[in-house]
Structure 1
Amino acid sequence: MYKILTLNNISPRGLDRFGHEHYEVASEISQPDAVMVRSFNMHQMEIPASLKAVGRAGAGVNNIPLEAMTERGVAVFNAPGANANAVKELVLAGMLLAARNICQAWDYTRNLTGDDATLHKQVEAGKKQFSGFELPGRTLGVVGLGAIGVQVANAARALGMNVIGFDPHITVRAAWLLDAGVQQALSVDDLIARCDMVTFHVPLNDHTRHLLNRERLHSMRDGAVVLNFAREGIVDEAAVLEALEAGKLRSYVCDFPSNNLMGKAGVIALPHLGASTQEAEENCAVMVADQLREYLEHGNVRNSVNLPEVVLPRAGKTRLAVINRNLPDMVGQISHVLGQNSINIVHMVNESRAGVAYNLIDVEDEIGEEAARAIAGIDGVLRVRVL
C-alpha cells in the first residue's frame, strides 16, 4: 500500500488515478511514500524518511527544496505543458488588454453617471483617449520556447503577427511544433530591440533573474508592451516603472501584483491566473499522478526535474532502482554485489543528469534484504528500491 500526502487541494480527476486497492491518499498522513503539491512551500517542511517522490501539479518547482530532495534520493516531478493552453490564452488576453486599453476604458465607463443621453455624450467624448492598435503586422518577441512559448508564438502567428523567438535550449520536439514563420533571434538583446511586444516564458533562476533590465528596456521600441506570465523576478519592476513613467513603455501586463505596481499607470496586474482554469488543474493533476504511479510501481522516470529520463519495460522477476551520485565505477560496484548474491541481470539502463545517476536493473530472481542493504551501503548511493 502506497501512501500519498496532498499538501494542497488537488483535482479529484488526478487523485482518482490512484486505485484504492494499492493507494491511500489523504491531506494528513504519516510516513508518506509521495507528496502531491501545488503552491505549498516545502522549504520549511520536515522531510519524512519514507518519502520517495514529490509531484508538483504545475511547471515551476521554486516551492520545493530540490537540492535537499536530491541528496535524500527523492525524485521530483512536474507537469510541463499541462497548463500551456491556459497560460497561452491569458497571454493573448493580456496582449489585447494592452493593445485596446480595455481595462482603462472599462474603468472609465463603469464610473459614468447620469441618464442615457448624458452617458452617450460622455462615452463619445471619452472614447478618443482609449484609442488602441491592432495586432496583425505587429511584432511579438517570445523569450523561451517550451510548451507555453511555442503555443503563444503559434497563436500570435495565427493572428497575423510577426513573431521572433529565442531559446538556446529549445528541444527537438518544440522545434517541430513551432510555426515555420517564427523568426529566430540571435540573442535576448537582438529580440528585444526588434519587438513591439515581448513575452517571457522561462523559469526563474540565477541566469534569468531580471532578464529584462534597465539596459534592455532602453533598447526597446518606444511604446512597447511587456508581458510577464512566467515568474515575478524575470522582470526588474523598478526599471519597468521608470520606463512607463518616461513613456518608453506603453504597458506592463503581468500575473504578479506587488505594492510597487499597484495603481501605477500602464500596469495591468492580474492575481496569478495563469493556470487557474479547471482544465489546467485537472491536466496537471492527472499528469503528475500518472508519473508518480509509474515511478512508485515500476521505477520509470518521466518529467523529473532532478533525475534523468528513464523508461524501461519490465523484463525480469524483480526490478532494482538505484539513485546515486554520478561517480566512476558505481555500476560496477552494484553489479558486483548482485553477482556475489548469485543474482543474474536480465536488462538494465543507466542514465545520468548533472551530478546524479539513475539505474533500473531487471533481474531473474528475488533480491533479498542483505543484497539491498549492501548496495545501499556503497559510497555514493542515495536511494535503493526493490520493486
Structure 2
Amino acid sequence: MPFRIRTLNAISQTGLSRLPADRYLVGHDVAQPDALLLRSASLHNQPIEKSVLAVARAGAGTNNIPVPEYSKRGIPVFNTPGANANAVKELVIAALFLAARNIVPAAAFAHRLDGDDASMDKAVEAGKKAYVGFELPGRTLGVIGLGAIGVEVANAAASLGMRVLGYDPAVTVEHAWKLNSKVEHVTNLDQLLKRADIITLHVPLIDATRGLIGAAQLAGMRKSAVLVNFARG
C-alpha cells in the first residue's frame, strides 16, 4: 500500500517527481494522509487527522507549523533549509538596486510624463536629479542572520564591491566557512545598525528574534539607511 501524502500548497513538480507513483499517493485531496507537505499554509489551530505521521515544509522556516504540539504527539516536522537560498538572494540583491537607484519612484515619474517630445525632455531634465540615488560599491551592507540565505547575500554583496558586516550570535561553523573573507564579523547588533547604509534581515521568526528590530533599533540607524526584510515577521 503506498504512503499517502496530502499537499496543502502547490509544490514544484520537480520535487514531487522524487516520490515514485508506485510508492506514494500524492495530492491535495488525499484522505487519511500519512504525511502533510506544505509551503506557506498555516497549521496553527487547524486539526489534523490521527493518521498523520509526519509533516514536511518546502522551505526553511517552520513558524506556520505548531511544532511543540506535534512533538507532543510524536509527529516529526521536517524542513528544507537552503533549498531556496539562491532565489531569495537574487530577490534581495534586486531590492538593493531598487532602493539604491530609486528605480520604483523613477519609473513612476516616467510613467506620469505627458505631452510632446520637447515638453517631456524638459520635464526629464528638470526632474531626473531627484532619482539619482547612489552606487553600491563602497557602501556598507549589514547582514543580520548568517544562515544559508544570509551567507549567499553577504558573498554576493562583497562581490559587488560593498563593505559587508555580518551579525549572527548562532552562526554555524559550516556557514562561517562559506563566508567571503572580506565579510566583517560583528558581535554587537547596535554597532552594525549604526555603521550600515543598508540592513538586510535573514533570521527565522522565533521567540529569540521576535521584535529584533523595533523603535529603538530604527532610531539607532543612519537617517538615510535602508532596511530590507525578506525574513519572517
The CA deviation string for residues 68-120 of structure 1, in whole angstroms up to 9 with x for no partner, is 11111111111111111111111111111111111111001101111122211
Match of 1:145 in 2: 146
Match of 2:105 in 1: 104
Is the contact made by 2:169 and 2:187 (CA closer than 8 Å) also made in structure 1? no
Aligned: 1:135 with 2:136: yes
Is the contact made by 2:168 and 2:187 (CA closer than 8 Å) also made in structure 1? no
Report SS of the residue matched to 2:203.
coil
> Offset of 1:27 from its aligned partner?
1.1
Is the contact made by 2:63 and 2:206 (CA closer than 8 Å) also made in structure 1? no
Q: Distance in 2 between matches of 1:140 and 1:99?
A: 12
Match of 1:159 in 2: 160
Aligned: 1:205 with 2:206: yes
Aligned: 1:6 with 2:7: yes
Aligned: 1:227 with 2:228: yes
The CA deviation string for residues 127-151 of structure 1, in whole angstroms up to 9 with x for no partner, is 0111211111111110100000000
Q: Distance in 2 between matches of 1:221 and 1:39?
A: 34
Match of 1:262 in 2: none
> Offset of 1:45 from its aligned partner?
2.2
Match of 1:195 in 2: 196
Is the contact made by 2:141 and 2:157 (CA closer than 8 Å) also made in structure 1? yes
Report SS of the residue matched to 1:226.
strand
Following superposition of structure 1 onto structure 2, how do residues 1-387 of structure 1 map, counting pairs within 5 Å?
A: 1-232=2-233
The CA deviation string for residues 297-334 of structure 1, in whole angstroms up to 9 with x for no partner, is xxxxxxxxxxxxxxxxxxxxxxxxxxxxxxxxxxxxxx
Q: Distance in 2 between matches of 1:192 and 1:10?
A: 37
> Offset of 1:38 from its aligned partner?
1.1
Structure 2: any 5+ residue segments left out of the alignment? none
Q: Distance in 2 between matches of 1:18 and 1:102?
A: 43
Letter in 1 for 2:131: F
Letter in 2 for 1:200: L
Structure 1: any 5+ residue segments left out of the alignment? 233-387
> Offset of 1:44 from its aligned partner?
2.7
Give me the identity figure in percent: 54
Aligned residues: 232
Q: Distance in 2 between matches of 1:220 and 1:58?
A: 31
Report SS of the residue matched to 2:88.
helix
> Offset of 1:222 from its aligned partner?
2.6
The CA deviation string for residues 264-306 of structure 1, in whole angstroms up to 9 with x for no partner, is xxxxxxxxxxxxxxxxxxxxxxxxxxxxxxxxxxxxxxxxxxx
Larger Rg: 1
Match of 1:373 in 2: none
The CA deviation string for residues 249-274 of structure 1, in whole angstroms up to 9 with x for no partner, is xxxxxxxxxxxxxxxxxxxxxxxxxx
Q: Distance in 2 between matches of 1:53 and 1:187?
A: 39
Q: Distance in 1 between matches of 2:60 and 2:180?
A: 23
Letter in 2 for 1:227: V
